[in-house]
Amino acid sequence: MSDTTTQAEKDAATTTNRRQPFPQGFLDTISNGWAPRPDEAVAPREQAAYTARRRAAVSAAFPGRRLVVPAGELKVRSNDTDYPFRAHSAFSHLTGWAADSEPGAVLVFDPTSDGHVVTLYFRERADRTTPEFYADATIGEFWIGPRPSRAAVAIDLGLDTAHIDSFSAGPDDLVVGEDAELTRFVSELRLVKDEYEISELRHAVAVTADGFDDIVANLDRIVAHPRGERLVEGVFRTRARSDGNGEGYDTIAAAGAHACYLHWTRNDGPVAGGDLILIDAGAEVDSLYTADVTRTIPVSGTFSEVQRRVYETVREAADAGFAAARPGARFREIHEAAMGVIARRTAEWGLLPVTAEEALDADRGGQHRRYMVHGTSHHLGIDVHDCAQARREMYYDGILEPGMVFTIEPGLYFQADDLTVPEELRGIGVRIEDDVLMTADGPVNLSAGIPRTADEVEAWVRRRRG
């Protein structure tokens, strides 16, 4: 190499087991002959005004403290292959940087006499004269495409920006993910959604509805494949990825007895004509807000008498939970209302060794929970299980307020080897899940457009399968 070759260029040119060294001719010419980068025409994104208010709330809650909110780093999938990057939810919520955020970025609140100066630190794109541009497969634009400039991001997000190299951690920093109080606060900050968040959740539900419709329209192809559950997953992913950012969580495509496994994501089984298939799926849009919807569908287009009885009981429980959801009610009352139905019906069917009233006793009951072990509701937003670090008194025992968005998702699951139930019930699993917005006038079912009664579901399948 020539005497003018930098050490970084020498390092970049080093032979590895996968990459050949760069010849001198390449090093001498790679930085030349590029057209000027076009001007980045940007304006503040829609959520910039909302994120400014969120940051102001954080600042007011922690006067005099330096706060650090990392976006996170890339995570290795295998060897030198990374998972797609997804920024920490608190980082995206406070910056508005979502599907397009940069790995390694850090949002910093530096205290002042009257609040905080907030700065977004990230690695600005490299000049084309540097080895990073052509030799770094992780961040080099030659490999991954254009990256944003600090100036453009500052306008886009309405934030001061600085190069990540100028950031240094301090011994007294409060860091999201490490400091319990700060982590709790930024989680509870998301309990009540603003107008932008509600709009994005409506968008996510709309994409999800189209994805469910795609699945039903492809049922013949799904049934014909020996691993039809995989096709369900793939059909939904196509819609979620084309119309959004992807899935908000691993899709559950559980046919037959697989529907009795609450988090069945292996999705490697067949989808047979007489089965029910439980599909729990949600599209995440580019803002990272996600839907979370479940429908249980008769593959043939018609419920059997037993399947319909189980299905309509679950819908009755869902409707009871919805009726209990009112401003001023406690979040846990949704679950209590749904479980009241589950206890009564399973007692009527002779499945419980006690009465429904005894099963519902807080201390000595719970026998009916064998058939629905999970909770009925969780908050929904930028995480599928949003606000997970909130205090119990703010979450499960919290008061329902306008602007909250949550699921209602009761189910009944009779596992194939459960000898406490009649044989006709074994292998039947049903869940119905809707996304609900609380308003001053009561709850609004955002996913009501996806068929949910037994009659509606049967008509849907027959219509879409032709």
Can you list the residues of the chain whose pLDDT is less than 50?
1-3, 7, 10, 14-15
Q: What is the pLDDT of residue 16?
A: 54
Hey, what are 239's tokens?
A: 């819609």
Q: 279 pairs with which residues across the strands?
A: 253, 295
Per the listing, tokens 């209602």 go with 408
Candidates 42, 416, 397, 149; CA nearest to 257 is: 416
Q: What is the pLDDT of residue 17?
A: 62
The fold for domain 195-465 equals Creatine Amidinohydrolase (3.90.230)
Q: What is the pLDDT of residue 323?
A: 98
Q: What radius of gyration do the chain's Cα atoms show?
A: 26
Exposed/middle/buried for residue 411 (C-beta within 10 Å: 0-12, 13-18, 19+): buried
Hey, where are the domains in the chain?
A: 40-188, 195-465
Q: What is the pLDDT of residue 39?
A: 76
Q: What is the pLDDT of residue 407?
A: 98
Hey, what are 455's tokens?
A: 């009659």
Candidates 241, 239, 216, 242; CA nearest to 465 is: 216
Q: CATH classification of 40-188 is 3.65.10.10, yes or no? A: no
CA distances from 242 to 284, 292, 318, 465 (A): 11, 18, 31, 23
How many H helices and E strands in the chain? 15, 17
Decide: helix, strand or coil at residue 464: helix
CB-CB contact of 132 with 30 (8 Å) = no
* CB contact burial 329-364 (16+ within 10 A = b; e otherwise): eebbebbebbbbbbbbbbbeeebbebebeebbeeee
Residue 244 CA neighbour count, 13 Å, CB half? 29
Q: What is the pLDDT of residue 181?
A: 98
First CA to last CA across the chain, in angstroms? 69
User: pTM for the whole thing?
Assistant: 0.94
Q: What is the pLDDT of residue 205?
A: 98
Hey, what are 368's tokens?
A: 């009916």
